[in-house]
Amino acid sequence: MTPALKNPSRSLLDIEDLGADGIIRILDLADHMAEVNRRPNPKVPALRGKTVCSVFFEDSTRTRLSFETAAKRLSADTMTFAVSQSSLNKGESLRDTIETIAAMGVDAFVVRHGSSGAPHLIDAWTQASVINAGDGWHAHPTQALLDAYTVRSALGRTGGLDGLRMAIVGDVKHSRVARSTAAAMRMLGVHVTVVAPRTLLPPDASDAFADAVTDRLDDVLADLDVLYLLRMQQERMNEALVPSLREYTTRFGLTTQRAAVLSPQTLIMHPGPMNRGVEIAVDPAELPGAVITQQVTNGIAVRMAVLFDLLGSGNTAPGAETADTNSDTSREGGSQ
């Protein structure tokens, strides 16, 4: 039987689905969630009775833990599907697996998969919301949202990010983060330059992907508001795309010499995990503009905002109440 069509706004598969207005709506909601997270007891009952299931077919530290923390802070029940201990190993198909978990009563699947498009397939098989937590080289929409949120809050902005200049540097070809973050930033008014060796650029790196493309990092450094370093994804390279990691660092890494050229106000970002000594050859703790830890912290507020946006219809946004209501809500959440 063909399932009834799902309201597309009940899932988050690509950052483009949100558009600029949708991104700003989530970032504004994340401001309220960040306020919840600053409370002594950072828990509210906003998604009580909802169940969020993490289904990660690829390794993750930040995304999986921050989604699970976000769901718990909103009082949702959480399920973690352990791929290596599942009946997938007995030959059960992905579709049967998803339909089996859905039959237990799941409101949202948070899906990471090594194949581009896997969350879209899952979305077609279930009435639950599906959140793309990273698929192959394709997309990582919540990373893009937390990146935009981090820039906005670090610079004390509201609304969009008009007029900022950003460089995304490194292994763009294999990077779902580069695709989603570049798209989100451009929708918010940022001028995005992609900096990479030709061998690490995708075929659509020009107009569709960025405002400018170059292989000369030193030409753009001095004018940047945001320097975004990508991880060299050695596990996705099945051919030698750079002569050596040492040469890569010499031409594209953030070295002490390059850090000295940056304005002290330039934000330095990385989605993690970092290859220290490769794309970043200085200690980020010594860089005044580094906001890499803030990206991780903000990931919780942004993922709370995404979960609430998809599952919390009809409820008042947590953190948007009066101060008196805040303390009541916090106590109520804390009694869970």
Q: Which residues bind ligand CP (CB under 6 A)?
A: 60-63, 134, 143, 271-273
Query: What is the closest distance, in whole angstroms, from the C-beta atom of residue 69 to ligand CP in the complex?
Result: 13
Catalytic position from the list 39, 43, 50, 112: 112
Helix (H) or strand (E) holding 195: strand 191-195
90 catalytic residue (yes or no): yes
Cβ at position 226, least distance to ligand CP in Å? 16
Q: Are 144 and 152 within 8 A, CB to CB? A: no
| φ, ψ (nearest 5 deg) of residue 187 | -65, -30
Distance set, CA 277 to CA 62, 90, 198, 258 (Å): 21, 41, 22, 14
> Residues 225, 166: contact at Cβ < 8 Å?
yes
* Between 160 and 271, CB nearer to ligand CP: 271
User: Could you tell me the smallest distance in angstroms from the CB atom of residue 298 to ligand CP?
Assistant: 12
Query: Order of strands, edge to edge, in the sheet holding 165-169?
Result: 212-214, 191-195, 165-169, 226-229, 267-269
Instruction: Tally DSSP H helices, then E strands, for the chain.
Output: 11, 9
The count of other CB atoms within 10 Å of the CB of residue 253 is 23
CB of 61 to ligand CP, least distance (A): 4
Q: Three-state SS for 256?
A: helix
Q: Which of 6, 10, 25, 62 is catalytic?
A: 62
Nearer to ligand CP, 15 or 221 (CB): 15
Report residue 322 as tokens. 């009066």
> Do the beta carbons of residue 161 and residue 149 sit within 8 Å?
no
Q: Which is nearer to ligand CP, 212 or 274 (CB)?
A: 274
* Residue 139 beta carbon to ligand CP: minimum distance, rounded to whole angstroms: 11
Among candidate residues 43, 50, 138, 140, the one labeled active-site is 140
The structure tokens listed for 46 are 């906003």
Rounded to whole angstroms, the Cα distance separating 306 from 304 reads 5
- Toward ligand CP, which CB reaches closer, 221 or 304? 304
Q: Is 112 a catalytic residue?
A: yes
Least Cα distance to 45 among 300, 308, 310 occurs for: 308
Which lies closer to ligand CP via its Cβ, residue 142 or residue 193?
142
Kindly state the DSSP code that residue 299 receives in the 8-state scheme: H
Active-site residue, from 32, 51, 63, 174: 63
Pairing of strands 165-169, 226-229: parallel
CB of 48 to ligand CP, least distance (A): 26
Note if 120 is an active site residue.
no
Token pair recorded at residue 110? 């948070």
- Looking at the Cβ atoms of 62 and 251, the one nearer to ligand CP is 62
User: Could you give the residue numbers annotated as active site?
Assistant: 62-63, 90, 112, 140
